[in-house]
Amino acid sequence: MGHSESISIGLLLFPSLTQLDLTGPYEVFVRAPGTTVHLIWKDLHPVVSDRGMAILPTTTLDTCPPLDIICIPGGPGQVGLMDDEDVLSFIRTQSQQACLITSVCTGSLLLGAAGLLTGFRATTHWASLDQLTLLGATPVSQRIVRDRNRITGAGVTSGIDFALYVVAEVLGEAIARNIQLQMEYDPAPPFLCGSPEFASEDELKKARAQAAPFMEKRRQATIKAASRLRK
């Protein structure tokens, strides 16, 4: 990726994704000089996130140009894509020439389902971290994990940290720092409970219980994807 050339970045946009997994990195990437950022889905109709926000794709799986950086966000809709061969094939094909293959949150499970994390260290949302093992990856409980040309971010808000890290890697730290300042990204959350490391036992127990029914659905999709990888 020469600095004189436009850097092509593609974010997969799919129904029932967690919008901040996508919009956090998008906000960083579009501020980086010399970048073209694509929002990619099967058609150009509005795509509705898990919480009801509609977002417009800019290109389709079939018409998307070759990407220098591919980024897969996560969210509940990821489960239904774990055996969607159109999407998995797109990810594999684009990853053949992409310089960086990346994800935020449970987007890493999609990378894993596409066979792209076997033998790699990776991260995802804390509640799904153990599922990476099923897909041949080594789970790492960190906000950003890099292993060769794979860069994975942890849950939801980590997408901003992740994207600043990517920009620093590609365009240099000075540009990433400038973007961070433009965005006034200076997090000072009101409560120290934003990860299992700091949450109380009761808070963690409640969050796990709230997520339990859906997490079992996600786990079954991961197990099914893992069985296909072994064939």
Domains of the chain: residue spans and CATH: 7-229 (3.40.50.880)
Q: In terms of C-beta distances under 8 Å and separation of at least 24 residues, what long-range contacts does 47-52 make, across chains too?
A: 47/13, 47/14, 47/15, 47/17, 48/15, 48/16, 49/16, 49/17, 49/18, 49/19, 49/75, 50/16, 50/17, 50/18, 50/19, 50/75, 50/76, 50/77, 51/18, 51/19
Catalytic residue among 64, 71, 99, 105: 105
To the query of whether residue 105 is one of the catalytic residues in this protein, the response is yes
- Kindly give the confidence (pLDDT) of every residue in the chain, 231 residues in length, as a single tens digit, with 9 standing for 90 and above: 544 579 999 999 999 999 999 999 999 999 999 999 999 999 999 999 999 999 999 999 999 999 999 999 999 999 999 999 999 999 999 999 999 999 999 999 999 999 999 999 999 999 999 999 999 999 999 999 999 999 999 999 999 999 999 999 999 999 999 999 999 999 999 999 999 999 999 999 999 999 999 999 999 999 999 999 988
Q: Please count the other Cβ atoms lying within 10 Å of the Cβ belonging to residue 166.
A: 24
pTM as predicted:
0.97
Phi-psi bin for 36: left (phi > 0), alpha (psi -120 to 50), beta?
beta
